Amino acid sequence: MKPSGRKVCFMTGASGKLGSEIALSIAGQGYTVFFTWHSSEQRALDLLEKIRWISPESMMQRCDISKTADIATAFAAFRKQFERLDLLMASASNFFSTPLPDVSEEQWDSLVDTNLKGTFFTMQEAVKIMQQQESGRIITMSDISAGLVWSDFAPYTVSKAGIQHLTRIFARKYAPRILVNSIAPGTISEYHENTPGPAEELTEKIPLRRLGDPLDIVRTIIFLLENDYITGQVINVDGGRLLR
């Protein structure tokens, strides 16, 4: 650990819309955050400036998590700076529609390699460090669409379902030292343009009658960070959307 004594988090996808709010909240929980970005350099720079107000040793690194070599490079840079890893927050994700039957190999690879393969190899690097120190937490970001049948989003939803299963596999394998859980957001209000259908139509399908707020996700992360007896779970933060 760095001399400041703060816990250390490695986070992917911190330059994302929800991701940047998650990164800030983790810093606010007393973590130094080493985060990765891919194409949004300015968003990453703006985030780093904000994070350093509360967590001055935080750092950022470019990384394409669809490439295992990039993941290895990012973890090598991380290890140079930090002696331990308390939390992996795996949030990087690619999202676009791919209506059947015209999904190309390139689209499939882009979605599945980023979301599923990238999350797997990031988790694999993280547990190497966590096993040595005999402790750690991993939180993956999935999506309630993993449990819905969206034919226009097959590679995306399959990748998120895969992340949920990876979460269970890692939780079983690395218990009792490493806790592994997943958060599956429903539609987060600020970002509903990413999801098919107008906001009013979506709200009608949600028993709690509103879209999600980034704070709903942040509160769930804090809940998981404070709880030592939950592992292998997927927590749907969706206002009851999956209730049938």
Ligand X SMILES: NC(=O)c1ccc[n+]([C@@H]2O[C@H](COP(=O)([O-])OP(=O)(O)OC[C@H]3O[C@@H](n4cnc5c(N)ncnc54)[C@H](OP(=O)(O)O)[C@@H]3O)[C@@H](O)[C@H]2O)c1
Residues contributing to the site for ligand X (CB under 6 A): 12-13, 15-19, 37-40, 63-66, 91-95, 114, 141, 143, 185, 187-188, 191
Q: Which of 31, 156, 174, 191 is catalytic?
A: 156
CA dist 45 → 39, 60, 64, 239 (Å): 12, 8, 17, 33
At residue 100's C-alpha, the angle toward residues 96 and 105, to 5°, is 65
> Least CB distance from residue 1 to ligand X, whole Å?
26
> Least CB distance from residue 138 to ligand X, whole Å?
14
> Least CB distance from residue 66 to ligand X, whole Å?
4
- Whichever of 1 and 208 has its CB closer to ligand X, that residue is 208
> CA neighbours within 13 Å on the CB side: how many for 191?
15
> Least CB distance from residue 67 to ligand X, whole Å?
8
- State whether the Cα torsion 151-197-111-89 is positive or negative: negative
Q: Which residues pair with 61 in a beta bridge?
A: 36
Question: CB burial class (10 A; 0-12, 13-18, 19+) of residue 39?
Answer: exposed
- Whichever of 3 and 43 has its CB closer to ligand X, that residue is 43
Clarify whether 174 is annotated catalytic.
no
Question: CB burial class (10 A; 0-12, 13-18, 19+) of residue 91?
Answer: buried
Q: Please give the backbone phi and psi of residue 142, each rounded to the nearest 5 degrees, phi first.
A: -110, -135
> Which of the residues are catalytic?
156
